[in-house]
Structure formats: C-alpha cells, structure tokens
Amino acid sequence: MRKLLYALAATALLFTSWAQAQPELRSDHPERYTVVKGDTLWDISARFLNNPWYWPEIWHVNPQVANPHLIYPGDRLALVYIDGKPRITKVSTSDVVKLSPQIRSEAIDTPIPAIPLDAISSFLTDTRIVSPAEINGAPYVLEGEDGRIITGAGAGDRVYARGQKPADRVGVFRRSKEFVDPETGEFLGLEARSIAKGNITAENGDVLTMTLTRSSEEVRIGDRLLVNEDRRLTTNFVPSSPDEEIEGRMISVDGGVNQIGQYNVVAINRGEREGLMPGNVLAVMKSGNLVRDPVTGETIELPSERAGLLMVFQSYEKMSYGLILQATRPLAVGDRVKNP
C-alpha cells in the first residue's frame, strides 16, 4: 500500500511538473497583433506568453503564407486554437476582418531579429573566442605606415606585419580577456577583440603589407592578423529552453561595469559541450544574503532568487555569450545561471 501511495505521489508530481512546464498565455494577451519595425521576437513572445521562451511550442507555421518561419514588420499574427491548444500563426490580409479603413502596409525584406542586434552585433560579426596557440601563432603587426608605432587606421592606411599569410582578407585582432572557470579552474577560451579589417596587398618573405578597409580603433604594434571570417548576423534563432540541465555562472560582462542590467552582454562558463545553443534562455539567480542566526549564532545563506533572464546568442565549446533581457534587480559577475 505504501509503495502504491509513493507511486501515485510521484505520478502526481510528474504531472504537476509537466503542467507547470507548458506555455501559459498572459491574461492580457492580444487576439491579433501587427508586427512593427523595431519589434523583436522576444518582445512579441512576451506579449502573448508569461514565459516567452516557450514560443517554439505555440508558433504554428501556416504553409499558405510566404516565408512562414520568418516574421516581418507588417505581418499580422493571430491567436488560434488547434485541437484545443493555443497557437499563434501568421495570417494573410484576406483573413483579417477589416472593421474600419486602414493604411495598407507591405512587409520589408528584413525579418525581425530575436533580440536587439545593435547590442550584440560586434560579437556576432567580429569578436571571437580562440585558443592561445591560435593567436600566438598568428602574424603580428610590426609598425604602421611611415614608421608609426600606432596608426590611426583609416581606410587605405597600410600596416606591416610578420608571419605566414593566413589569407588574402584578414582582420586585426587584439588579445583580450582570458576566461577561466571560477569553480574548476579550467581554461575556457581567449577573447580576441576585432580592431580592423583589410587585405594583404604584398609579401616580402615573411613580411606582409596590409591595406586597411575599415577599423574600430587604432592598430598597435603586436596586434595579430587572423582570417577574416566575414560572419553574418544570426537572426533566425528563437527563444527556447535548453534541452539539457544547465548550472553555471556569469564570468564576465562586456565593458567591465560593476552592475549588470538589461542589454548587457555577459560571458558564461557553459557552452556547446553542455548542450547550450544560440536562442537558449537561462534564468539568472541572485545569491541570498548571509544572515546571522540569532539563536545559534551560525551564519546562514538565504535561498537564491531569480533576478533576471538572459538569451545565449553565441556559443563555443566551453563557454557562451548571452544578452541580459530582463533584470528585476542589479546583477553581478558570479551570479548563477540555470534553466528558466
């Protein structure tokens, strides 16, 4: 009898967990919504759902609509029910009942991104994680044009480097942060920050002449030349909960600020090997305060509380970059991250 009760309790707990994991519509959700310029997928998800990362579970592709997987400004979204379950889908203009005259709008060619791209563009297109061997073995800058040790790095300027040519199109990178797991001491990766881009226009033995095409700051002696990956902005990932159980920490914040808030870029000590992918959403947990027990005199740590959400936008083998999307209180390096 006791075993039966345990089994029933376990089944009830499993059912409760399953029910809690289902997407819940907001009480004030719209029945229809017209996408506008400046929207992000996260914004739209949050209009309909209490938990925006469940968007993939309610998005319903309408095969009769062009580019059904992408959402553009001007698209009309409708909340429908299929087999009794809520679904959001794109509808054509003819499917919408016009109650009053309105301006006809055409969708522009660029789909809305998952999150604000201006906050992460430099990480998606330039900044990268490399190994120390990769950057130490890359050609290094000797000097700038006319013997300058630092060049203003305007388009058309030349710099001279020494080493084996990596490719015709290269980027100038500067060694930046070294990431180490604060819990295990494992080396996670080295951040190479993009400084400039250009072309190798001449070779004289192992001395390379590089003509710059664009730059974000001055090129210095010792900066390294790496292959220009010419990566494109990734905008087609969608909010989702990780498939695996994730427990990690925020280990760095871009800009070195003390308090982390909305739209700050952070690095976390979990990556592809733990199952993290772009689009995965993680909860940020703030450690509880340390208090003194007035009876025993012991120091007690209060329970951690969820204080924010971040979305992973770039993942590497051992670490990832994420963007803080929500912060209900100031966050800090060292705060834990976990499944939402």
Which tens digits make up the pLDDT trace of 108-154? 467 888 888 888 877 766 788 999 999 999 999 998 877 776 665 56
> At a CB cut-off of 8 Å and minimum separation 6, what does 63 contact?
none
**8 Å CB contact between 97 and 76:** no
Q: Please report which confidence band the pLDDT of residue 304 belongs to, taking 50, 70 and 90 as the band edges.
A: confident
pLDDT given at position 245: 95
Q: Which amino acid is at 62?
A: N
pLDDT given at position 16: 35
pLDDT tens digits for 242-269? 999 999 999 999 887 788 999 999 999 9
pLDDT given at position 153: 56
Q: How far is CA 178 from CA 137, 174, 181, 269, 322, in A?
A: 17, 12, 10, 12, 17
This prediction has a pTM of 0.78
* Residue matched to tokens 């909340």: 79
pLDDT tens digits for 306-324? 999 999 999 999 999 999 9
Q: Is the pLDDT of residue 18 over 70?
A: no
